[in-house]
């Protein structure tokens, strides 16, 4: 069927009996015909865990392999291994792999990325996660592999209130062998745990400054939906740590009935 108007892209999805997506097909309308752009094929193991993802690109009315991702899981259905391969025209070649580790509560604590180089796996970077007794993620340490050692890169620290809402997020960077505070975000909530205020402040040049966002909600019978949020815009060119706020932008969210 020939599309009307200015339609130029078509996308289809396919699902199995368990409602898992098994196919995504994208086509482009070119010179009066639908031509294949790319497709994503997904496979699952007997437990319903995603096991393989094939990316293929359309070329001269044929499908050509592009990327393959393979997943493995533990007995708790946690993803513990992910390997990426690329099609070299003849077969699949290793590209990268991710190794994931969990604590006894199934919280992700370490994720390590390795790259395939000269027929061996080489560390690239890793993320280390820490949780409090309520299983809120309170920190993320990011490190890179350099000179056969893990070197600090970024450190994120999170704080939560008694309801499990995130109240602050501090970002630090490893500079000259020391942690330097780079930016901080703070959050406030109403009695229904709806986010009503968010602030962001950056301390390091050249992008020193602040941003504040206010959220407003319209009550309904069961939930509170975002009605609008207000973003104060700083006076320019005085984009410095101590700002004067001049005007605002209001964006409305309208729910279709």
Structure confidence at residue 7 (pLDDT): 58
Q: Rounded CA gap, 16 and 27, in Å?
A: 21
Q: Which is more confidently placed, 227 or 52?
A: 52
Joined together, the tokens standing for residue 219 give 């009550």
Structure confidence at residue 250 (pLDDT): 43
Report, as an integer, the average pLDDT of 233-248.
37
Question: Options 3.30.365.10, 2.40.128.720, 3.40.50.300, 3.30.70.1170; which CATH number does 1-73 get?
Answer: 2.40.128.720
Q: Tally the residues of the chain.
A: 257
Candidates 107, 116, 112, 141; CA nearest to 126 is 112
Question: For 26, how many CA atoms within 13 A lie in the half-sphere containing its CB?
Answer: 11
Other beta carbons within 10 angstroms of residue 89's beta carbon come to 7
pLDDT tens column, 73-128: 999 999 999 999 999 999 999 999 999 999 999 999 999 999 999 999 999 999 99
Q: State the residue for tokens 């997943």.
A: 71
H/E run at residue 41: strand 33-44
pLDDT tens column, 145-157: 999 999 999 999 9
Task: For strands 120-131 and 137-146, give the pairing.
Answer: antiparallel
The alpha-helical segments, DSSP class H, found in the chain are none
* Pick from 23-27, 59-63, 96-100, 189-193: least confident: 59-63
Mean pLDDT (the chain) is 85
Structure confidence at residue 72 (pLDDT): 97
Structure confidence at residue 224 (pLDDT): 47
Phi-psi region of 135 (alpha: psi -120 to 50; beta: other; left: phi over 0): left
pLDDT tens column, 158-174: 999 999 999 999 999 99
Structure confidence at residue 61 (pLDDT): 74
């Amino acid at each position: 069927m020939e599309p009307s108007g200015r339609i130029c892209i078509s996308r289809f999805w396919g699902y199995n009996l368990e409602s898992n997506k098994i196919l995504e097909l994208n086509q482009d309308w070119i010179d009066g015909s639908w031509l294949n752009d790319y497709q994503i094929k997904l496979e699952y193991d007997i437990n319903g865990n995603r096991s393989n993802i094939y990316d293929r690109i359309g070329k001269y009315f044929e499908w050509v392999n592009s990327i393959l991702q393979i997943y493995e899981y533990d007995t708790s259905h946690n993803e513990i291994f992910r390997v990426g391969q690329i099609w070299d025209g003849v077969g699949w070649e290793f590209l990268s792999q991710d190794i994931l580790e969990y604590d006894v509560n199934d919280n992700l604590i370490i994720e390590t990325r390795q790259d395939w180089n000269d027929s061996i796996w080489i560390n690239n970077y890793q993320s280390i996660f820490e949780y409090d007794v309520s299983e809120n993620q309170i920190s993320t340490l990011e490190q890179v592999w350099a000179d056969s050692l893990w070197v600090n890169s970024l450190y994120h620290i999170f704080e939560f209130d008694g309801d499990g809402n995130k109240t602050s997020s501090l970002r630090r960077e490893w500079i000259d062998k020391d942690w330097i505070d780079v930016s901080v975000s703070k959050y406030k909530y109403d009695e229904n745990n709806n986010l009503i205020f968010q602030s962001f402040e950056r301390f390091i040049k050249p992008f020193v400054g602040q941003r504040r966002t206010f959220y407003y909600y319209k009550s309904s019978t069961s939930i509170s939906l975002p009605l609008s949020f207000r973003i104060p815009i700083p006076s320019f060119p005085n984009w410095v740590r101590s700002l004067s706020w001049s005007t605002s932008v209001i964006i409305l969210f309208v729910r279709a009935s």
